[in-house]
Structure 1
Amino acid sequence: MSTVIPSVDLGQWRSASADKRERVAADLDTALRDTGMFLLDGHGVPREVIDGFRARAREFFALPHDVKARYAVESFHDSGWLEMHPAGGVGVLREEGEEAPSAPDLHESFYASPTHRTGNPDLDRFYYPANRWPSEMPELKLAADAYTGHMVRVAETINELLASVLGLPEDYFTSRATKSTWTQNASWYPSLNAVGGVASGQLRNGPHTDLGTFTILSRQLGVGGLQGWNEADGWFAPPYGPDSLVVNLGDLMEHWTDGRWRALKHRVLAPSPTAPDEELLSLVFFYESDPDTVVEPLVAPVGGGRGLPPVVARHEVLRKLGVTVPTGGPTP
């Protein structure tokens, strides 16, 4: 049986009858158990907001290297510009016996974070790192702010949807995400002609799972594009809709559901000789929860029965990045 990735229309979900909601929830639950992905329509993000942010991000990546370097990240959890990603980096998943590629992933990224503050500067740099907006193009911040405003709104609705699927109170996740940590990423995948060649095993983005609760992705269709993975089908090309957003579950939601749902393993293929001029730009919104949320894995039958321990949300995300938050914060 081929992989089925459901599409949920938020407008229709809000007005659906109880029977219709039950059918949608069952299909969504199956997909999240098997794969960890669904498409989202009826989200209300204007096309001009999406296109505007993508265009401004593309203009940033076209800036000279020495200009972009002024805004370079200094650690894994920073905001700012990241050049070609390190080979076999954090979060990369390899099959048994597979060696890490010797060349970096073929993409550049620009990261932005929320402007919440805890009042503790030592914590803020781990929870809400300061943004590095390029002074050369103030339009980038304006476009990113417009887009992320919609992403926060959509994320809150997704949290309500997921709680409903699990049979929990609708505010179960939103009440734990009032000042959520998140990262807005624009990722540019240059063309084959631009990079000049691809090393053995090199991809635009190596196999990985995301670290947070879920990710909201606005992607472009391409030959060297996104692939998801599940045990039934291995690697597959997910469905694409020009107005659809992709929602991928991350490690924190897999942990929260005690293994009932799975974080999506995914990758982005290398640029292809069949499309040597193809370049893609993805807008990737990594969402978490309030940083101090103690994630208590849900008890069966709601949870998956894996018996995972509680973790502190942001601390767990940073732990997987090799970063330790200063002592004095919460403990699970």
Structure 2
Amino acid sequence: MAPAIAPVKPSNLAENSFVKALAESSTLNSVPSQFAYANDSRGSHSDSIPIVDFSHLVAGTPDQRAKVLRDLDKACREWGFFVLVNHGIPESLLKAIIEASLEYFELPEETSGGTRPRVRPTLSNPAVAASSIRPTTGFTLWRDFVKSYVHPQFHCPEKPHKLRDVLAEFSEKTRSVARKLLQDIGENLGLEKGYVDEVLKLDSCFQLYAANYYPPCPQPDQAIGLPAHTDHGLLTFLIHNGVAGLQIQHNGEWFNTNSPQNSILVNTADHLEILSNGRYKSVRHRAVVNNEATRISVVMANGAAPDAVVEPAGALVEQDGRAYYHPMKFIEYVETMLSNRLQGKSNLDCIKIQQQEDH
């Protein structure tokens, strides 16, 4: 049977080309067969996605802070996602990291990593570029990306030169905000002051920078930027260039995310679900594509120290009568996930303790 989607001629897409190069081809009028991923990318709009005012956590009145703590707790329990406003990170820095990331993708392929597009970051190779060819899944993602480990050791692509300074500052600023949020989350969970910092070793917390490039797609319902997945880590921060595309799953329904200018989209990730013994959920989300405009997103994944063993907080295990997750060293979880993401069972499912294991 003939394929439903006509493939692009080989001359239009070299094996190691970035998706950007394909999208810019003057002959592209359909999605090549290797990208085929039929999907319904429609999402509902909701005014209920929580908004958390960071300034009231830092310098609000007691009543203001109490209200935002409740907002934060509800967001983590019910949505696993919130819009962070008044976070104190300069708008100029948010724009600069988007611009520097875009400049990276505009470098010639031999500079930005086109000769090694399937490499993922590891401890021995902590800063890489890639096109999203994933031959083991049966389809290719409509995305190019770059990823770097930026803390506790800082790594960055050599070019563009301005990315290094901008990324270093962005890493520092987001790390400070994430740490404050985690302290308040610990308070909401009823944990002792300083517990989260100590057990997760947040002085040496892990941060992963990722920039994603989603070019216009001729058939958005026949390709995907990123299928539904959850994130490793504690809190994931995301900003973008104003082009929509991130959707989150809530009560089985997909919702489009809308965020005001200068805000940060934050989702609770796998290790916060583990630490909270399941009270807070790591939510599934996905990146859909469009046929009109390029979408750039910049992600900062904030986690525990690489050598920290993450497990449910003892006080919460005592309340619940048992732990719902096995302990696991943070960096082992991250590297397993980076090498196997989108292939079958998730890491989080693998370390959940099933009821029968207790018998």
Cα distance in 1, alignment partners of residues 215 and 172 from structure 2? 27
Taking the aligned partners of 1:281 and 1:320, their CA distance within structure 2 comes to 23
Change (3 A) 1:302 1:56: farther
C-alpha deviations, 1:197-230, integer Å up to 9, x for none? 5573x2112111001111011123335x110002
Give the deviation of 1:26 after TM superposition. Answer: 2.7
Deviation at 1:304, TM superposition (A): 9.7
Q: Distance in 2 between matches of 1:303 and 1:183?
A: 32
Distance 1:228 1:222 in 2: 16
Question: What root-mean-square deviation, in Å, do the aligned CA atoms of Structure 1 and Structure 2 show?
Answer: 2.8
Pick from 261, 264, 272 the counterpart of residue 253 of structure 1: 272
Q: Distance between the aligned counterparts of 2:275 and 2:129, measured in 1?
A: 30
Residue 159 of structure 1 aligns with an amino acid whose one-letter code is L
Once the two structures are superposed, what CA deviation does each residue of 1:51-80 show, in whole Å capped at 9, x if it has no partner?
A: 112111111101121221268673453433
Q: Which moved more, 1:289-298 or 1:164-173?
A: 164-173
SS, match of residue 289 in structure 2: coil
2:132 pairs, out of 85, 109, 128, with 85
User: Does the alignment pair 1:9 with 2:53?
Assistant: yes
Query: Once the two structures are superposed, what CA deviation does each residue of 1:148-181 show, in whole Å capped at 9, x if it has no partner?
Result: 1211111211211211221223432233211111
Q: TM-score normalised to the size of structure 1?
A: 0.77
Displacement of 1:321 in angstroms is 3.3
Separation in structure 2 between the aligned mates of residue 303 and residue 238 of structure 1, nearest angstrom: 33
Contact 1:71-1:133 at 8 Å conserved across structures: no
Change (3 A) 1:68 1:303: farther
Alpha-carbon offset, residue 289 of structure 1:
0.9
Letter in 1 for 2:268: L
1:103 to 139, 143, 156: 139
Deviates most, 22-31 or 250-259: 22-31
* 1:22-33 correspondence runs (5 A): 22-33=66-77
The one-letter code sitting in structure 1 at the alignment partner of 2:165 is L
- Structure 1 residues 293 and 82, CA, compared in 2 at 3 Å: closer, same or farther? same
Query: What is the percentage of aligned positions where both structures have the same residue?
Result: 23
Q: Equivalents in 2 of 1:322, 1:111: separation in Å?
A: 13
Residue 159 (1) aligns with residue 159 (2): no
Matched residues in 2 for 1:186 and 1:56: separation? Answer: 10
- SS of the equivalent of 1:260 reads coil
The residue that corresponds to 1:125 in the other structure is none
- Give the partner amino acid of 1:228: I
Q: 8 Å contact 2:50–2:83 — kept in the other structure?
A: yes
Contact 2:121–2:147 (Cα < 8 Å) also in 1: no
Aligned twin of 2:261: 242
In structure 2, the residue corresponding to 1:308 is in which secondary structure?
coil
8 A Cα contact 2:97 2:166, kept in partner = yes
| Residue 74, structure 1, aligned to residue 95, structure 2 | no
- Separation (CA, whole Å) in 1 of partners of 2:228 and 2:321: 24
Structure 2: distance between partners of 1:265 and 1:84: 23
2:212 — aligned with what? Answer: 187
Note closer, same or farther for the CA distance 1:143–1:302 as it changes in structure 2 (3 Å cut): farther
* Structure 2 match to 1:320: 337
What residue is the counterpart of 2:233 in the other structure?
212
Residue 115 of structure 1, CA deviation: 5.5
8 Å contact kept, 1:107–1:187? yes
Q: Which residue of 2 aligns with 1:122?
A: none
Partner residue in 1 for 2:250: 230
Task: Sort the Cα spacing of 1:197 and 1:235 in 2 relative to 1 into closer, same or farther, 3 A.
Answer: closer
The amino acid that maps onto 1:236 is F
Q: Give the alignment partner of residue 112 of structure 1, picking from 143, 148, 167.
A: 148
Aligned equivalents of 1:33 and 1:297: distance in 2? Answer: 16
Gaps of 5+ in 2: 1-45, 341-359
Equivalence map 1:168-183=2 (5 Å):
168-175=191-198, 176-183=201-208
Matches within 5 A, 1:290-329: 290-298=305-313, 299-300=316-317, 307-322=324-339
Q: Secondary structure at the match of 1:321?
A: helix
Residues 38 and 302 of structure 1: CA distance in aligned 2, closer, same or farther (over 3 Å): farther
